[in-house]
Chains A and B, each alone.
Chain A
Amino acid sequence: MIRIQAEDFDTSAEIARLTSGRGDVGAVVTFSGLCRDEAGTLAALEIEHYPGMAEAEIGRIAVQACERWPLTGLTAVHRFGRILPGQNIVLVVAASAHRQAAFEAAHFLMDYLKSRAPFWKKEHRIDGSTGEWVEAKESDEEAAARWR
């Protein structure tokens, strides 16, 4: 299940959604991405996204993950709008019978999401200035390429 939303998410509720009422899940891996304060200089991040394509692209990545690993469930939630240091940005929950598939699928989904899902972060500085658009990192591209 893929959700793109402005509001916060509840990690334990998302885990429960993949496990409650079933006995075949042996492993749940969650990844939470949070907004950093960049050593006290960042007031907030403004996250812009491409509505429609953001859901579609994460959906395409999730389909690949489900084809590659034997998952019992997979959830991705990505927020947009103004996000303060310490607040949640992204959540991935991967469930499987065994841990290896859950760990790898969550890792894969995050690595691909970083370089292929249409989101952009802009920094707002604590001194009141609007900072720069966050630059994409070469290392994120390389992280995604490892899974090919």
Chain B
Amino acid sequence: MIERNTVGRRLFIGSNYTFLTILSVLCILPLVHVLSVSFSSSAAASAGYVKLWPVDFTLSSYKYVLMKKEFFRSILVTLERVAIGLSVNMALTILVAYPLSKEVNKFRARTAYAWIFVFTMLFNGGLIPLYMTVKYTGVLDSIWALVLPGALPIFNMILLLNFFRGLPKELEEAAFMDGAGHWTTLWKMYVPLSLPALATITLFATVGHWNSWFDGLIFMNSPSHYPLQSYLQTIVIVKNFTAANLNNLKMLQEVDERTFKAAQIFLGALPILLVYPFLQRFFMKGIVLGSVKE
């Protein structure tokens, strides 16, 4: 844009920078507050002294959380879920996006397949029939109940499909001329050329699995099989705090419910806070490129 350097313009720029700064701070302020609470003594927290900086700095909440077996067990379930779920998601996304990115004259069944997949975004059977299906297929209360129903993330698949379509046709034709088949072309050409898009959908799929909590809640029969977010849901959201374990009783007196919850909230968000800044430039590029259509 072309701008003139008038007083009004400078005033606008000044207030614009101020406004955007306030807006950005507002996005992380609640997190900073919860972080401060988690590092504060329970007395200071329950008295409401803690604002944006810890009061009576202490690690007792974290010590307490890290002593809890349930917490570790749920992290293990989540890690297992992310490892299996992400592999399945990525493999299926790539394998479906490639054929569907072909022109109809190169792959006649393309349109039919595409509709079969896209229709699942438009219509679903609802909660109870899904629960019944998971039950009838015998995966209830296992890690597969968290992986198989969302094995192909349709949105990610469409993103990658559109990215594949944006690659020059000449490359593919050259590969075919040289005798490469579909598998070789996909693996040796499409995948290496699509790293920004693949990084984007890897981020989305990982965050999706890390953050899912509802499926764990309904598909797992015993709380010992809950992934981290389902476990947190029962601790942080449901208001009855029952840790009537005798060994923990002494700790419980020191650790206020509020600081304890804050520590768990922060630990649940931590991996995302750590990974996300590094992937940001990929997903911004990936989303925009993936939505470009011919």
The reply to whether chain A is a binding partner of chain B is: no
